[in-house]
Amino acid sequence: MRGVEQIPWLYDLSMALMPGMQRWRRSLAALARGRVLEVGCGTGRMLPLYPDPVAVFALDPNRAALDRARRRSPEAGLMVGSAEHLPFPNASFDSVVSGLVFCSVPDPARGLAEIHRVLKPDGRLLMLEHVHARNRVGRWLLDTLQPPWTLITGGCHPNRDTEKIVENAGFCIERDHYRSQGVMRHFVARKDLG
């Protein structure tokens, strides 16, 4: 299925029309520490925004998007891959970052289990996501729009309860840095060590 997410120039054009999104990305990237893995980096719009002394690895299933990402950030370690099969050992990252990705990951529970595995015990998951609406009319609207929207975008599901999926995967969402605006969310989650 080829949609906007698989056509890098079109994806970047659509994002250029949403300058507010880059402010969300900037604020999320500023929280990254140590060894960083960005899942679903796409065309690499977040990559130049990380603070200086971090080592960044990033992956995305779309090779053409990664070519753009490489131009944006030649120093990042980029690879083709998916959140559901992370090619890294256990406990190998201090921060895992996801920006507008878990609406598109085909198996989000599996992707989050993989992130849980590769994060160090005190590591942090930094997420910027759009999620399902909170009210009944909004939920109905997003459920109705989902099939054509998924087709046009090339995989995005606007009606996922991503925060719930994150918590079910063994994370607890911190109240610090939690920002919510409409269906947009920006938050930090830690492994729930019980």
Ligand X SMILES: C[S@@+](CC[C@H](N)C(=O)[O-])C[C@H]1O[C@@H](n2cnc3c(N)ncnc32)[C@H](O)[C@@H]1O
**Which stretches of the chain bind ligand X, using CB under 6 A?**
5, 25, 39-42, 45-46, 60-62, 65, 82-84, 99-101, 104-106, 155
Q: 78, 90, 84, 85: which is closest to 37 by C-alpha?
A: 78
Shortest Å, Cβ 5 to ligand X: 4
Partner residues linked to 125 by β-bridges: 96, 189
For 45, residues 6+ apart whose C-beta sits below 8 A from its C-beta are: 12, 15, 22, 25, 72, 99
- Closest CB to ligand X among residues 79, 140: 79
- Shortest Å distance, C-beta 193 to ligand X: 26
Provide the token pair at 165: 């999926």
Q: How far is the CB of 53 from ligand X (least distance, A)?
A: 22
Spatial contact of 1 and 152, defined as CB atoms under 8 Å apart: no
Instruction: Choose between 41 and 188: whose C-beta lies nearer to ligand X.
Output: 41
Rank residues 123 and 155 by Cβ distance to ligand X and give the closer one: 155
From the CB of 84, what's the least distance to ligand X, in Å? 6
Instruction: Specify whether the CB–CB gap between 144 and 114 falls below 8 A.
Output: no
Closest residue to ligand X in the complex (CB): 42
